[in-house]
Amino acid sequence: MKKILLACCCTAFVLISAMAHAEIVLKLQTSTQSGAYEFKYINEEWGKRLKAMTGGEISTEFYSINSIVDRKETPEAVMAGVLGGDLTAVSYFTGRNPAFAILGDLIAGYDTVDQVQTFCRYGGGRDALQALWDATLPGAFHVVGCGAVAKEALVAKVPIKGVDDFKGVKVRSPGGLAATVFKAAGAAPVSMSLSDVFTSLEKGVIDAADASAYINNTTSGFHQIAKYPIYPGIHSMAVRQFTINQGIWDKLTDDQKLALETWFYACYDDVRRILDLQDKEQVSKDKAGGDITVVDWPQEERDKFRKLASEAWEETAGKSPEARAALDAHYMYMKTIGLLE
């Protein structure tokens, strides 16, 4: 009898231990299309690394934009447990508060992706984003991190060689700050999901698109139709957020939390570097091929566009106290690194 009781106790201990260390599978909807280079790279290269980093305790399932819920509804899906978290563009939530536009993409604000990454990780960006979500959906989720992966190229069916060439051009754009800047340049912003860009370019609904990194635009097929891409980009370094359902986050160990944060920043640092290399390689091929005309704006046009953008920053900051605080967070960091006096 004692042996039976001992065996039962040992079995129960093993079961409890197994439950305590049961694998956590995080369903994460992203803001990239399934055919994009970035989506494939993260899925193939970085999903397995998180599992290895946590000793098999945490794994991920990545989903492309709009595949589980609409791109603007991922926060509610995370709250409901339909998703474990998201890896998506912050600017999608501009309709909730203009502060999301400022934290999601300070149009023409930074010179490099590394500056944006540093703002998010060390310059107050992540904390500002967490505070904004806490004010918007209290207790919904934890912001593990944020950052940009590319200075996006602009997809265009017509040559846009400077600010004046934007006049009358129909540009796919996220709402909020980006749309305000394009409108100030004389363009007609059109709001739509990234998944609708190809068909809209094909049918003439839009003439150009704020889309993604040059290589992502290529693998998504945009350059088959839009043969005047602007590269290097003039406008966007879209910030992605990595959120986790608050209930799931609270149950993680300190080691698991650290692993998730380390994984995210290592992943996105790697992605920005590989995208930059892929961009340059693809641009070189396209220039040599002759079918695509890569447009590179002169510095004076870039400066003119940045001035328009800075006026739009202030206009957007005036729309809510949170937006003002978000822009001030940028300004504080920019002064630290010498971008502003």
pLDDT tens for each residue of 179-206: 899 999 999 999 888 889 999 999 999 9
CATH superfamily of 2-150+237-278: Bacterial extracellular solute-binding protein, family 7 (3.40.190.170)
The strand pairing partners of 148, in sequence order, are 239
Average pLDDT for residues 5-33, to the nearest whole number? 60
Question: What's the half-sphere exposure (Cβ side, CA atoms, 13 Å) at 56?
Answer: 4
Instruction: Report the C-alpha gap between 259 and 257 in whole angstroms.
Output: 5
Q: In this model, does residue 235 exceed pLDDT 80?
A: yes
Distance of CA 178 to the CA centre of its chain: 14
User: CATH 3.40.190.170 occupies which residues in the chain?
Assistant: 2-150+237-278, 154-235+291-337
Q: How confident is the model at residue 292 (pLDDT cuts 50, 70, 90)?
A: very high
Residue with tokens 């260390």: 21
pLDDT at 42: 93
Average pLDDT for residues 144-159, to the nearest whole number? 94
Pairing of strands 154-156, 188-190: unpaired
- Contacts from 300-304 at CB under 8 Å and sequence distance 24+? 301/161, 301/162, 301/163, 301/234, 302/108, 302/234, 304/162, 304/163
CATH superfamily of 154-235+291-337: Bacterial extracellular solute-binding protein, family 7 (3.40.190.170)
Q: Do residues 300 and 75 make contact, with C-beta atoms less than 8 angstroms apart?
A: no
**Residue 303 vs residue 324, higher pLDDT:** 324
pLDDT at 339: 83
pLDDT tens figures, 199-221: 999 999 999 999 888 998 999 99
pLDDT at 147: 95
Q: Two tokens at 191?
A: 């709001």
pLDDT at 227: 97
pLDDT tens figures, 75-97: 999 999 999 999 999 999 999 99
Residue 123 DSSP one-character state = S
pLDDT tens figures, 57-69: 999 999 999 999 9
pTM of the model: 0.82
pLDDT at 21: 56
pLDDT tens figures, 6-18: 333 333 333 233 3
Query: DSSP 3-state assignment of 256?
Result: helix
CA distances from 31 to 59, 194, 332 (A): 19, 8, 28
pLDDT at 297: 95
Q: How confident is the model at residue 340 (pLDDT cuts 50, 70, 90)?
A: confident
